[in-house]
Structures are given as C-alpha cells and as structure tokens.
Structure 1
Amino acid sequence: MTATIHPTTASIPAVTWNALLPSISGKPDNPFLDHAFFLALEQSGSATARTGWQPQHIVLERDGSPVALMPLYLKSHSQGEYVFDYAWADAYQRAGGDYYPKLQSSVPFTPVTAPKLLVPSADPALKRALLTTAETLARQRHASSVHATFVPEAEADLASDAGWLHRVDTQYHWHNEGFASFEEFLGTLSSRHRKITRRERRDALGADGLTVRWITGADIQEHHWDEFFAFYQDTGSRKWGRPYLTRSFFSLLSASMADRVVLMFAYDGDRAIAGTLNLLGSDTLYGRYWGAIEDVPFLHFELCYYQAIDFAIAHKLKTVEAGAQGEHKLARGYVPTPTHSIHWIEHPALRQAIADYLSQERTAVLREQHLLDEMTPFKKQ
C-alpha cells in the first residue's frame, strides 16, 4: 500500500475522489464532501496556500487502486474551523513552541459533520492507516499537530483507540418526525412556544408584506448570486471580519452543484432584501450562510430556521442542520446534538495539558447538553 499527498484538489480526478465517498444513487450523500465543492473552494481562491489552506490530501492505494481518502490541509492559522484551539496555540507559543503550521482535516469554512476517514470498504485498518499517514506527514512538515473536526462519533472512537484526543461540542439540529405540515410540528410545542413561533413568523413577513422564494437548480441565475454575495458581505462586516468565500466561489458552486443548492430569499416587492444559502443532502438540509441589507425583526429566524423546517417537511427530509453554535435555536425546535473532533499532538507536555483540559471540557459539555434537553420547547411528557 502506498500513500500519495496531493498538493491540490485538482490533482485528484473527480471520479476517483467521489468513488471514495459514501453515496446514494451515484451522488455523494453529503454535498460538502463532493469533489466539486472542494474544487470550487480552490479555484475561487477561497481555500488555497495564499489564504492559509494548503491542500495535503491523502490518497491510499493498494496495488495501484485507490482505497482511502483523507481531505487535509497544512494551515498557518486557525481561522474558518469552528472548533477553537486559539488557547492551545497561545499556550504553546508562550512556552517557546511553534503551533503553526498544523494539519487540518475538515471542509473549509463549514462546520458540518461528515466522515474524514473515507474508506468505501469501511475497513478499520485502512482508517487507522490514514491516521498514521497524517501523523507521519505532520512530522515531515514540522507541524505541531493534526486535527480532524466535525467527524462522526464512530471515527472519534476509532481515533481515540489509536491514541488521538477526543473533543465534544454542541450544535442544534431539527428532526422531522414525519410531519405533514408546519402546523403539525407546532402541535408538538408547548402552548407558549406555539404562540411565540406564530408571532415571530407573522412579524417577520406579515407587517411589511414580504414574500419568500425558494430558488434551486436551473432557476439560480448570476443575479441571484450577486444579491446573495451582498447579503454575505453584510454579515461579515457586522462581525468585524472578512468573508472567507470569494464571489467566484458561488458561481463555481452553481455551475457544478446547482441541483444541491437551495437559496431562500426574502423579497420586498421585486427587491431581494435578505437570503440564506442551504445545501441539500440525501436526507438533510444544511443551512449555512445568511445575510440581509435591511433590518427586519425576526427575519433571520424565518429564513434560517422556519423556512428550513418548511422545506424539510415538504421534501420529506429527516434533518435540518443549521450550522454552528446558537442556543437561540433551541426555542425554535432545534435540539442539542453532540459534535466530535479528534486531535493528535506531537509534543508530549502539550498533549498532556490538552488531554487534561478536554477531559474536563467533555464533562462540562455533556452536563450542559443534559440541561439543554430539559429546556426544549416541546410539550412535557
């Protein structure tokens, strides 16, 4: 068996990459793992060596045939990851070490749970071989560590058995219990939360007579992306940051994956004033980027959470994943869900310090999730 380290996504043929992914009807189950998504990030200049995301994708071959893939980047910072290790970097650098570069296995700028040890045969030995290859590469690249974020729990367990550290955090997901309508979903909420939800939806759209349109597939035109990019930039400026994604990324995404893109726009007459970008999986709607050029109370909740529920019910999807953080999602019917990441640390003392910290953090996170479970808006049994 041999390992090849690819310095670009483009150096791996799309057919080779996608054949190593979980798929349904020949299409990757998770749209964020699709070769086209990674390629759009690269070709648009969003995730490249210049922006601190140097591809180091691992492909394992046995007798010349690809058998495993690990998307991987050599990074000079910790931006765009959503699992925060700034304190680790600061501690190591104050102690005289160099935390950067590090290796990062993730979908850039996207806090989505998806496998990072991609092995069609599900052979645990091949998954362990990917971990070992990443460790070896870290030493060759003089990287302090390897991180794989938003991995399935089974991958976290396998990596823990291999000596990696395990971190737990929380997201908020909505689950479809076979609802026939939004009103049926509302029937599962307490009386107080039903009233709040109806009022928020009424105030978001009714007062100003706004309308919402779902736009997907061939209906998505370049002017839609121009409008959405203005929304996206507005969100970045409100957070005093620079948007990670370039304008060309959205055109490239649309050219290759339009059937998996769902734009939800709010219109004041014929003028789009707010919007959110979602990607469509086999059974999940992934809500990601949002923005607005006019401030309308509760419109964020309407577009990002309630419209997503409407769409999931209409298309019989099992889950809505609405991105990272956000306890405010709890009151809108999104329940706390554990997320997992795994970490290999080269320096023994730093590793032990982080291991001690993660042990305490996991206990605190799981305790918090238990408390949050008791605070959901659903009727109490």
Structure 2
Amino acid sequence: MAPEFTARFVQSLDKVDAALWDACANPPTLAEEDGERFNPFVAHAFLSALERSGSVGPRTGWSPAHLLVEAAGRLVACAPAYLKTHSLGEYVFDQGWAQAYERAGGAYYPKVQVAAPFTPVTGRRLLVAPDAPEGARAALIGALRGLRKAARASSIHVTYPTRREAEALRDAGFALRAGEQFHFLNNGYASFDDFLNDLSSRKRKSVKRERREALAGGLSIERLVGAEIRPHHWDAFFAFYMDTGARKWGRPYLTRAFFDLIGAATPERILLVMVKQGADYVAGAINFLGDDAIYGRNWGALIERPFLHFEVCYYQAIDYAIRRGYRRVEAGAQGEHKLARGYRPVVTWSAHDFADAGFHAAIGDYCRRERVALEETIVEQEAALPFRKNDKEETI
C-alpha cells in the first residue's frame, strides 16, 4: 500500500524540532552521490540563526515558508523555502527573467526560493530522510508547486542543489540551468609546498610572491576555531564585513546578532582567519567547515594591500584544508582569477519552474543554449589551468 503523505509549511524554523529537521538535512548515513556528509548551510542551527538574528524575514524580502512532508505522523522530507520579493542574495541571477516577465504583463514577485540564503554553496535542497518511504521526494516537489499556487507566486527556483537533485527536478519538469564556480581540490597533498610543486614553475613563483607581499609590513595571521573565537573577534570581523559589504553591494545581508548566534550554536564549524597590524585587527574572513569541505563565505578589510584578499580567503583556506585533510575548498561565487591560484572550474546547478507554460518553455530553451556555451568555456579554462601535471577533473 502506497504511503499517504501530508505537506504543510511553517513560517519559522523554530516551529520545527531541530533534531527532526537535521535527521533529514544532515543524516549520519548518506550516500556520497547524494551530497556532502555534513553541509552546515542546511542545518537547523544555521537557518534558524538567520531568522532569529533578523537576517531573513519579511523585512528583508526573505519570508520563510519552509516545507514539511510527513508520513504516518513522522517528518520524512523538508525544504528550506522562502517567498521572495526581489532577486538579491541568491547568486543565480534571474533579474533579466524578471524584467522580461514583467514586460509581458506578469508579476514576477513573489517567487518561491529554495535555498540557503546568501550562500552560493552546492548542497542538498530536497531534504529527504534516508529511510523515507518511496515517493517522499516526489511529494516534496509537489508541495513546492502547491506553495507556489497558494502564494500566487510566478515561479519556483531551487538554487545550488546537488546534481542528483537537479536531475530529479529536471525529470519533474523543471528547467535546468548550469553555472560554474572554482574550487580547490585536494589531491592528497602533504603540505602547501607539495601543492605548489604541482603548479608550473611560473605560477609557483607567482603564488609565493603574492603571499610574501600580502603580509609585508608587519601583518600577521591568526586562525581561530571554536572557543578561540571571542566576542571581540566578532566585533572586529563584523566591522570588516560591513565596510567591505557596503562598498561592494550596497547593503550587507547579515546582522551582528547572526554571528553571535551561529558562533554559539556551532563553534566547531567555524574557522575565522584574522589579520593583525600590530595589536589591531584589520582584515578577516569567515569559513564554515563541513565534514569534507571548507566553505569560504565573507571577508572584509579596513586596509588596502595587494594580494591580501588572496592570502586570507584562498591560500589560508588551502593550507588549512591540506593540514586537516579536507577534500576541497569552495571560495564562493564567480572569480576566474581563482584559476591562476590553483582552483578548478566546477559546474553548479539550479532548477526553475514557472506557472506560465509559455515563459517556462522559453526559459528552458535559454538554459539549454547557456549550457552549451558554458561547456565550451570550461574546456578553455581546463586547457589553461596552471598545473604542471595535467590531471584534470571531470566537471560536466
């Protein structure tokens, strides 16, 4: 007998027991092809900290509408979902689609966004428990369409799902869009110097020079994890974040309270890289730690120094990953300059579903043509990688 699923949505993650959510989001047993063994950005602690700190909510244009699917009274699947009134903080850019939709006389917003807010990191988005009855994922996808209809939203956007999820969404009728990021892949290096030896001579010398110049003039690095991170570190880091964020994109997304909350909830999952000039902190970057990967997220600086950003955000993360045995470093969205510094092109995915059949077909055609162009770009990027050994990774 087929199980009977029921679906509902909640407007606050505090209404969901953390252990029940995390049993779907980060189960202790997960097949490697299903995603990261632990992804901090779909954990209850991270998503709840965003809400409780005011970083997301109706005021910010991210109204939580998390989906819960139950069978026999038990939570078997869920999804971090939001009703959006803009397209900011997603890193999969659909503003052109919004303009075209509205020129045709439609209202693009609200839209349903399934995502880890402000976080361009691939991870599971259709959070199905490993022991869920067959059909739970299909029920969750159906619930997404039900939410779209109930909210009178134009569309559903699932950003940075795993490849397996992207394929399931494609099979359910979603248009599949490909993008790219640049990740450091740890090929079993014993040290940072071992990694450098894998680069061409010219690139190896360039990285060494950048590292020297970044910390010239008496700058020093502190790497802080867990209880080593104190309130004054958060105060300093938040000042960097606000200054750089305001200059770069106008309004930083995260509040000061968020860092206190996430630092208290998951201290062992945070690596803070801080730069000192004498007794003062002048720059820093926050990284989140999965089981297999280091995720570089936000950075800021009160001083201008050539290559300091590369040192703090890229080279320090690579060095830490090698020392601790992490498989890779993900240093955020965009940035082809990462290729020259040992990062490789990796395909990312998003899935999109529009209520308007004609517009949905047009978006599907656009995404297919975009994927062809991306494939050609990645071939060119792979050919130009700075590695002495031409051991390329499969990316698409």
Please classify the TM superposition score into its range, dividing by the shorter chain length.
over 0.9
Match runs of 1:69-218 below 5 Å: 69-121=78-130, 125-205=135-215, 207-218=216-227
- Cα deviation for residue 4 of structure 1 reads 1.7
* Matched residue SS, 2:209: helix
Aligned in 2, Cα 1:136/1:25: closer, same or farther, shift over 3 Å?
Answer: closer
Question: In 2, distance between residues paired with 1:4 and 1:174?
Answer: 39
Aligned equivalents of 2:94 and 2:14: distance in 1? Answer: 29
CA separation of 1:108 and 1:236: change in aligned 2, threshold 3 A: same
| Counterpart Cα distance in 2 of 1:347 and 1:39 | 33
* Contact 1:176/1:313, CA 8 A, preserved across alignment: yes
CA contact 2:26–2:43 (8 Å) conserved in 1: no
Contact 1:18 1:28 (8 Å CA) reproduced: no
Contact 1:7/1:57 (<8 A) preserved? yes
Using the TM superposition, give the Cα deviation of residue 296 of structure 1 relative to its aligned residue in structure 2, in angstroms: 1.0
TM-superposed CA distance for 1:332, in Å, is 0.5
AA matched with 1:302: E
1:52 has 2:61 as partner? yes
Structure 1 residue ranges without an equivalent (≥5): none
After TM superposition, the structure 1 = structure 2 runs for residues 359-378 of structure 1, keeping only pairs within 5 Å, are 359-378=368-387
1:356, distance to aligned residue in structure 2 (A): 1.5
- Residue 33 of structure 2 corresponds to which residue in structure 1? none
Shift of 1:132: 1.0
Q: What is aligned with 1:20?
A: 24
1:128 and 1:159 in contact (8 A); partners too? no
SS at match of 1:362: helix
Would the aligned equivalents of 2:27 and 2:129 in 1 still touch at CA under 8 Å?
no
Which residue is equivalent to 2:258? 249
Partner amino acid, structure 1, of 2:218? G
User: How many residues align structurally?
Assistant: 380
Residue of structure 2 in register with 1:336 after alignment: 345
TM-score with structure 2 length normalisation?
0.94
Please report how far the alpha carbon of residue 111 of structure 1 lies from its aligned counterpart in structure 2 after TM superposition. Answer: 0.4
Unmatched tracts of structure 2, length 5 or more:
31-35, 391-396
SS in 1 for 2:77: strand
Rounded to whole Å, the distance in 2 between the matches of 1:227 and 1:41 is: 20
d(CA) in 2 for partners of 1:28, 1:252: 23
The CA deviation string for residues 176-233 of structure 1, in whole angstroms up to 9 with x for no partner, is 111111000000000100010000001011x212111101101111110110011101
The code of the aligned residue for 2:334 comes to Q
Residue 151 of structure 1 contacts residue 340 of structure 1 at CA under 8 Å; is this kept in 2?
A: yes
* Matching of residues 177-326 of structure 1 within 5 Å: 177-205=187-215, 207-326=216-335
Secondary structure of the residue aligned to 1:82 is coil
How far apart, in 1, do the equivalents of 2:60 and 2:150 lie? 22
What CA distance in whole angstroms lies between the structure 2 residues aligned with 1:346 and 1:316? 45
Output one character per residue of 1:27-63: Cα deviation in whole Å (capped at 9) or x when no partner.
9711111101011100110011111111111111101
CA distance in 2, matches of 1:191, 1:98: 55
Question: CA RMSD for the aligned pairs?
Answer: 1.5
The question of 1:34 aligning with 2:16 is answered: no
Amino acid at match of 2:278: G
Amino acid in structure 2 at the alignment position of 1:376:
L
TM-score (norm 1): 0.97
Cα distance change on mapping 1:240 and 1:344 into 2, 3 Å: closer
Structure 2 residue matching 1:243: 3-state secondary structure: coil
- Aligned to 1:239, what secondary structure does the other structure show? helix
Distance 1:198 1:155, change over 3 A: same
- Residue 357 of structure 1: which of 329, 349, 366 is its match? 366
**For residue 187 of structure 2, what is the amino acid of its counterpart?**
E
State the alpha-carbon separation in 2 of the partners of residues 349 and 25 from structure 1: 41
